[in-house]
Amino acid sequence: MRGSTLYERVGSTSVKINNHVYTAGGDSNFVECLDLNQVDGGWYEVASMNEQRYLAASAVLNDQMCVAGGLVGGFWGNALSSVELYNPVVNTWTNIAPMKTKRYGHALVSYNGCLYAFGGSDKPYGLNPFNSMESFDPREGKWKSLKPMNEERNALCGVVYNDEIYAIGGWNLKSVERYNIRTNTWTKVSSLNHVRCGSCACVVNGKIYVTGGAACDAALKSIEAYDATINEWKIETNMETPRCRASVVAL
């Protein structure tokens, strides 16, 4: 078990780059890093983001941490469309083109050198949830709209799995759908066993693992996994602590 982060965080977002874990935002613009090469090493602070981002989303783009959207000023703050990239080599953040839509509580994934942002909201308490999706190609330097999801989803999580993008759960939802990048279409798959709002997901050993989240305002301990070969979710185990609005990375 690794040591605790320097700061208590809710609504932060995390990625893994070259055996380093970076966690950013939440109630501040602070960013910290854990070097997995150091067996006894702890978290240490790196350059802060340009803006505070609560309930933002992150992905890895060309070995850099991309953080998109979120709220500035906490839960009652204003939604952001801005996007910034962290370069670990020079320890600096740089803004890139903003998303077409202001979003928080959304999902962000990276695939084949492009970013995909989907879902979220721009109003307090997740009112006005989105089903929209947009992508960013660094070679073009701008975001473009794609086919919207079948359902509006705020506080969802998302992953790339078997070359498709999965949108998982959300506020009062246990449904799941996947996006085929080649055909620009969304298809429903099996639903989660539990409603999960504010959960997080990663891919490990050929399965999608979804951890925590909340159902009926109660945080969950359970972890469930999806196997595409049988199109089924199964409860795998429980965490020691219920967690909602957390973040996870695969080591």
Model confidence pLDDT, tens digit, residues 90-124: 999 999 999 999 999 999 999 999 999 999 999 98
How distant is the alpha carbon of residue 46 from its chain centre? 20
CA distance 122 to 130: 9
Hey, what CATH class is 13-243 in? Answer: mainly beta
Beta pairing partners, 240: none
- What's the average model confidence in pLDDT over 60-71? 97
What is the number of residues in the chain? 251
Report helix, strand and coil shares of the chain as percent, to nearest 5: 0, 50, 50
* pLDDT tens digit sequence for 149-169: 999 999 999 999 999 999 999
The pLDDT, as a whole number, for residue 27 is: 85
Tokens of 210: 């979804």
Closest to 168 measured CA to CA, from 144, 136, 197, 148: 197
Q: Domain map of the chain by residue range?
A: 13-243
CA distance 199 to 231: 20
Burial of residue 205 (number of CB atoms within 10 Å: 0-12, 13-18, 19+): exposed
58-62, 98-102, 214-218: segment of lowest average pLDDT: 214-218
- Please report, in angstroms and rounded to a whole number, the separation of the first and last CA atoms in the chain: 13
Its pTM stands at 0.96
The pLDDT, as a whole number, for residue 1 is: 57
